[in-house]
Amino acid sequence: MKKVLGNIGLYFVAVIFLIINGYPFVFTILTSFKSQMEYMMSIWSLPGKLFLENYEKVLAPSFLRYFANSLFVTLIAVTIIVLAASMASYVFAKLEFKFSNVLFMLFVAGMMIPIHTTLIPVYVLVNKLGLYNSLSGLIGPYVSFGLPIAIFIMTGFFKDVPKDVIEAAKIDGCSHFVIYSRIMFPLSVPAIATVAIYNFLAIWNEFIYALVLINSAEKKTLPLGIREFYGLETVNIPGILTAILVGALPVMIFYFVAQEKVINGLVSGAVKG
């Protein structure tokens, strides 16, 4: 009986949390199908009919360009982070060399640096490299900010791989690159999913560096596009919520697809490491 009552209590708390966290999303979806007039007349009611003009505005070519820019920058940056962090983590976890712990701590120390304190140096560097107002100029800072946490997670995961696996591969004549690419990298899928999701979220939603390093409309990323859309549709709350909803969908889909691997990666990499 105590166990049953305990489970009922847990389910009750879970339902409360679901309502608290899920209702804003449901409210956003319902409001996106309302006209501005219908929203002003009845904020909390269900839409009387499906009003699709909000989606027509959001899916206009200009807004889709912002979406494509963010997708390009995010995918390239996350790919570089995953590859670079996995190779560095293999070295830190499985190769013994002088000052390896010192180098690892220097990488991890990057997590303690507030990224906005580097805004001016990054702006000067990007400007001198001739990458100002280009999507390539955003990728470099995003990669550098994503590497510390990625190396921390993946190094902890690689350390849990038994040494016998590495030794057996060496006996078979495998080089370190073959061991990394054919054994360690495939085994680290949970950690890779964790790193990819974390950095996808951070880069997709990043605003301040995009604001400083981009000044032309055709190069703006999605957060800048939503800000511009808000300026044009300030009083059109349903339209603004529609833009936010469309911008959040890729991240939500990506997370729901890989959430199990994300949890496994956090447990195996961050906690055990």
List the one residue out of 66, 64, 79 whose CA is nearest residue 211.
66
- Evaluate whether 238 touches 35 at the Cβ level (below 8 Å): yes
**Number of CB atoms found within 10 A of residue 253's CB:** 10
The CA-atom distances, in angstroms, between 107 and each of 150, 155, 165, 212, 221 are 10, 11, 27, 26, 28
Q: What is the DSSP letter of 156?
A: H
Say how many CA atoms lie within 13 Å of 245 toward its Cβ: 20
Q: How far is it, in rounded angstroms, from Cα 100 to Cα 169?
A: 23
Taking 50 as the threshold, does the pLDDT of residue 270 lie above it?
A: no
- What's the CATH number where 187 sits? 1.10.3720.10
pLDDT category of residue 271 using cuts at 50, 70 and 90: very low
Per-residue pLDDT, averaged over 124-152, amounts to 93
pLDDT category of residue 170 using cuts at 50, 70 and 90: confident
- The answer to whether position 128 is within a domain reads yes
- The answer to whether position 69 is within a domain reads yes
Higher pLDDT pick, 173 / 75: 75
- The answer to whether position 35 is within a domain reads no
Tokens of 218: 């055709």
Model pLDDT for residues 215-225, shown as the tens digit of each residue: 888 899 999 98
- The answer to whether position 32 is within a domain reads no
Q: For the whole model, what pTM was predicted? A: 0.83
- The answer to whether position 41 is within a domain reads no
Rg, C-alpha atoms of the chain: 23
Number of domains in the chain: 1
Taking 60 as the threshold, does the pLDDT of residue 147 lie above it?
A: yes
pLDDT at 188: 85
pLDDT at 57: 85
- The answer to whether position 223 is within a domain reads yes
Taking 60 as the threshold, does the pLDDT of residue 272 lie above it?
A: no
Burial of 193 (0-12, 13-18, 19+ CB in 10 A): buried
- The answer to whether position 11 is within a domain reads no
pLDDT category of residue 59 using cuts at 50, 70 and 90: confident
Taking 90 as the threshold, does the pLDDT of residue 125 lie above it?
A: yes
- Using CA atoms of 42, 47, 49, 55 in order, give the dihedral in degrees to the nearest 10: 110
- The answer to whether position 30 is within a domain reads no
Q: Name the average pLDDT for the chain.
A: 86
CA 165 vs. chain centroid, Å, equals 32
pLDDT category of residue 58 using cuts at 50, 70 and 90: confident
Model pLDDT for residues 12-54, shown as the tens digit of each residue: 888 998 888 888 889 999 999 998 888 888 888 888 888 888 8
The CA-atom distances, in angstroms, between 145 and each of 80, 109, 151, 270 are 12, 11, 11, 18
Domain span at residue 266 reads 54-271
